[in-house]
Amino acid sequence: MKLRLISADRDILTGFRLAGVEGVPANAENIAEVLSDLVGQRDIGVIIIDEELAKTALALIDDIKLKKPLPLIVEIPGINGSARPPDFIEGYIRESMGIKL
């Protein structure tokens, strides 16, 4: 299984390329086309996408996550850091399992 990165930021694309992960440049206008193309490739197991670009295609990403077992879609923070609150993981666990950490 292969990894692919989708980002609009050249620095993120370059950094992941140095780590051996091929990237696909995208923007808000062509993200749906890029995602559909990558999801259609059977050898791709994980798609990494930066949070800022993922915001522009939330409905499509949620649809893929709900209907397809693969590829796994992972959102990563952008160059400017995460847009999520610092206690995002704790809040997610608390909401989904009812466990307070």
Domains assigned to the chain: 2-97 (3.40.50.10580)
Q: And the tokens for 18? A: 């140095």
Task: For 68-89, write each residue's pLDDT tens digit.
Answer: 889 999 988 876 656 666 675 6
Tell me which of 46-55, 61-70, 81-90, 92-101 is least confident: 81-90
In sequence order, the β-bridge partners of residue 49 are 6, 75
For residue 2, give the amino acid letter.
Answer: K
CA–CA separation, 74 and 3 (whole Å): 10
> How many C-alpha atoms does 1 have within 13 Å on its Cβ side?
9
Checking phi first, is residue 98 left (phi over 0); if not, alpha (psi -120 to 50) or beta? left
